[in-house]
Structure 1
């Protein structure tokens, strides 16, 4: 026979099951706000809008995407960290806000693990260097040579300080000796607009946000930072093929404030992963150059912890620091 304490505990769990089931079926009763901590037009925004539509249909409530750019994606992340843990305010957590920022910013307003409930990983994608079609260099060796010839070096844009694309620029300069100046924007969309307009000649971007412009010829691909050529862009050489030993991938997921009810977290994870499993979603992400990567909430939290540890020495070695 079970001890009385164990019997009572088991009874409490059984009694709680109807409440948990009710929480799953009754939630949400209001629209959900999904914060994208970058400007419209970049990979974070594209991934959010693609998943939000399917997620809203499955939950029976609209999932409203709200762009909150600023401070290298940490502004929007900090706002969600301070929101009520009711599952109605979520954020697209990403490599910039939750892996790189803890080592890059001297005074970050949140802890990437303690202040969030991590729900689901969406996609992983390689970074890519793209240039204005009239940019003279045709390969990375010519980019390095031109940067050394320029009196003040070569300007290279990114979606903002603290992104993996920013650090790829820093690492490119360190590995090759190129004289590159990082030009941060408030998102990949505004940066790409200026590359197309030849305001800045080149940028480091995530492949999904650059893919449409690459296919349309608005920009020219210089190199993809994957270990091998991407199947969607077989003509685009890797950094390694051009003698630059760099590999850089970004990732994007969904998180909420710390203390999210387990029933809500579980339902969100299942519904998000169901959206990711839809052939139309997988086809669209593949067209953009992203790899769908579903995880459980616990696995996603563990993944982020590993990424924080992995990026800390890279940020330190880069010398990059934001006050």
Structure 2
């Protein structure tokens, strides 16, 4: 009888504990640090934007947003890692035009689908690109570069953040429209490419403007032209390449994505923190000083934007002939 009572008591206790666990509220998100994967090397514009935004999101979410650089394969290694991560909001991606619009057309065996494998959070910024030269390079304008390159085909090289990157394709589009032959030298990220251009190892670079602007202002680089259709306010004296090559236009962007299947309430929390971070005056100043154009979209708007970017860039990639196994 006593044993039966003891068994019943234990069973009752276990049931009570289980009921209490079911009725207890779930831990508030986030209750531990969040990893923001930047799929490129440190020092580039994507890394710059990520660190500015992550610092403010850390304050707003009251949990550390840790920036982790995981470069390689044009951003696809980092993007794949997020696509395969647990959809719990603790691993998110700083995506770019490369990860979500170019790589699907470039890579024959891409391990993620840019639409199906991600939950859009928010489009943070659009980013102009710029064609720069080491100060010792003889050409000081787009016109002079074209003239020089036509006189000596394949003599001069330009650096980019990697094969098939938006910066590489910006350079290839320039070559095609200008009718010149420049040698492309790919790097594993904008940062390493920038180091060699500053050192004079490579004369030219197509870069995201945020990571080059201070070097331009400091005279360590010469800006031949920005890749947007119009001049940018931060560098009003630098012409748009389109002023010499009408119709030329390229740019990059940065957006936050979570793995597909992330609960809507977590996506909302990340979205709200990201958009609120963009409203902070210090964040706004840092981003605009770096020439990034602040957006702050809804998840739905980012989803539609991604599809349009894929439609836009796929034929450009095919026309360039770039293909990566």
Q: Could you tell me the TM-score, scaled by structure 2's length?
A: 0.90
Of 206, 209, 227, the residue aligned with 2:208 is 206
Match of 1:52 in 2: 54
- Segments of 5+ residues of structure 2 without an aligned counterpart are 1-21
1:244 is displaced (CA, Å) by: 4.7
CA deviations 1:219-239 (Å, max 9, x no partner) are 110000112111110110111
Residue 313 (str. 1) matches residue 315 (str. 2): yes
Distance 2:252 2:153 in 1: 32
CA deviations 1:161-206 (Å, max 9, x no partner) are 2222111111111111110122111111111100000110010011
Match of 2:171 in 1: 169
Partner SS state of residue 313, structure 1: helix
Match of 1:8 in 2: none
Distance 1:174 1:191 in 2: 22
1:83-122 alignment to 2 at 5 Å? 83-122=85-124
1:235-314 alignment to 2 at 5 Å? 235-314=237-316
Distance 2:223 2:153 in 1: 25
Partner SS state of residue 250, structure 1: strand
CA contact (8 A) 2:178 2:245 kept: no
Match of 1:10 in 2: none
1:70 is displaced (CA, Å) by: 0.4
Distance 2:137 2:126 in 1: 29
Distance 1:193 1:181 in 2: 18
CA deviations 1:129-174 (Å, max 9, x no partner) are 0110111011122212322343633211111222221111111111
Partner SS state of residue 321, structure 1: coil
Match of 2:70 in 1: 68
Q: Could you tell me the TM-score, scaled by structure 1's length?
A: 0.90
Partner SS state of residue 153, structure 1: coil
For the pair shown, which has the larger CA radius of gyration, 1 or 2? Answer: 2
Residue 179 (str. 1) matches residue 173 (str. 2): no
Partner SS state of residue 276, structure 2: helix
Distance 1:290 1:72 in 2: 21
Distance 1:180 1:152 in 2: 5
Distance 2:65 2:224 in 1: 36
Q: CA RMSD in A?
A: 1.4
Partner SS state of residue 135, structure 1: coil
Partner SS state of residue 130, structure 1: strand
Distance 1:299 1:205 in 2: 27
CA contact (8 A) 2:134 2:200 kept: yes
Task: Evaluate the alpha carbon distance shift between residue 245 and residue 153 of structure 1 in structure 2; reply closer, same or farther with a 3 A threshold.
Answer: farther
1:211 is displaced (CA, Å) by: 1.0
Distance 2:219 2:64 in 1: 35
- Segments of 5+ residues of structure 1 without an aligned counterpart are 1-18
CA contact (8 A) 2:153 2:180 kept: no
1:116 is displaced (CA, Å) by: 0.7
Match of 2:30 in 1: 28
Distance 1:242 1:235 in 2: 15
Distance 2:38 2:269 in 1: 21
CA contact (8 A) 1:176 1:244 kept: no
CA contact (8 A) 2:37 2:69 kept: yes
Match of 2:10 in 1: none
